């Protein structure tokens, strides 16, 4: 079955270029030219991934992400001409899964789209043998059904946040460097850009820790990396 992508981009030339390329790659692409139209089409359709520009009329991309994240864990790839850590932190902090800067190559964009869909669909694919529920303190993690609970209440996690939690939960007391985390979760080489990892770790801690500034689960080993500590 073809994957269905919602592309929200107000620049007509970029919209047409991305739509044409992804269509040739076998994707079904629905387009919108502003945030308001994008939200309307998202609510009316069923999509496997969202590509979203940050700067758009009516409703900007960051607000669109915030609204969608209240309803869905769909993979979100953000696009922006601003290559700054502030933009990345804001976008990823709201729940975006990936980020690409303009101008970008269509080969890179397509690779990120495929990776995002692949990471998302592997959680919903039927499997013959289901992993046991992992219990750590007041956390429970279901690795197959992409679900986590804190004190028996479901935690709303993005796909990346869940992958991070799953990685640590399955490797308790093991230390992971940032390079190892990036390679395992993002499936890409690590070039020292700590911002993406830092933002996702902060968001994950905000959701699983009682006191994120004094984490009891995922510990930071300064200058080394992170580990999920179980006594």
The answer to whether position 9 is within a domain reads yes
Residue that finishes a domain, picked among 106, 124, 142: 124
Instruction: Give tens-digit pLDDT for 48-63.
Output: 999 999 888 889 888 8
**Contacts within 8 Å (CB) and 24+ apart, 176-184:** 176/225, 176/226, 176/227, 177/224, 177/225, 178/225, 178/226, 180/225, 181/225, 181/226
Q: Quote the number of domains for the chain.
A: 2
Instruction: Give tens-digit pLDDT for 194-230.
Output: 788 888 899 999 999 999 889 989 999 888 889 998 7
- What does the mean pLDDT of the chain come to? 85
Residue that finishes a domain, picked among 74, 99, 124: 124
pTM: 0.62
* Domain span at 70: 4-124
Q: Is 75 within 8 Å of 120 (Cβ atoms)?
A: yes
List, in order, residues 6 or more apart from 214 with CB less than 8 Å away: none
Where does the pLDDT of residue 126 fall: very low under 50, low under 70, confident under 90, or very high at 90 and above?
very low
């Amino acid at each position: 079955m073809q994957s269905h992508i919602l592309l929200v981009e107000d620049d007509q030339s970029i919209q047409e270029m991305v739509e044409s390329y992804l269509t040739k790659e076998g994707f079904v692409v629905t387009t919108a030219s502003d945030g308001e139209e994008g939200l309307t089409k998202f609510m009316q359709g069923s999509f496997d991934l969202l590509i979203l520009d940050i700067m758009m009329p009516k409703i900007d991309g960051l607000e669109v992400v915030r609204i969608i994240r209240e309803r869905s864990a769909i993979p979100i790839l953000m696009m922006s001409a601003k290559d700054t850590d502030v933009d990345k932190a804001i976008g990823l902090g709201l729940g975006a899964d990936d980020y690409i800067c303009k101008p970008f190559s269509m080969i890179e964009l397509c690779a990120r789209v495929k990776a995002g869909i692949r990471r998302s669909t592997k959680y919903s694919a039927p499997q013959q043998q289901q992993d046991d529920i992992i219990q750590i303190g007041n956390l429970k993690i279901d690795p197959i059904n992409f679900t986590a609970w804190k004190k028996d209440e479901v935690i709303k996690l993005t796909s990346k946040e869940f992958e991070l939690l799953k990685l640590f939960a399955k490797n308790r007391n093991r230390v992971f460097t940032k390079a190892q985390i990036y390679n395992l979760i993002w499936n890409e080489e690590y070039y020292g850009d700590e911002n993406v990892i830092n933002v996702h770790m902060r968001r994950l801690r905000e959701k699983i820790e009682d006191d994120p500034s004094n984490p009891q689960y995922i510990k930071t080993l300064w200058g080394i990396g992170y580990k999920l500590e179980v006594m």
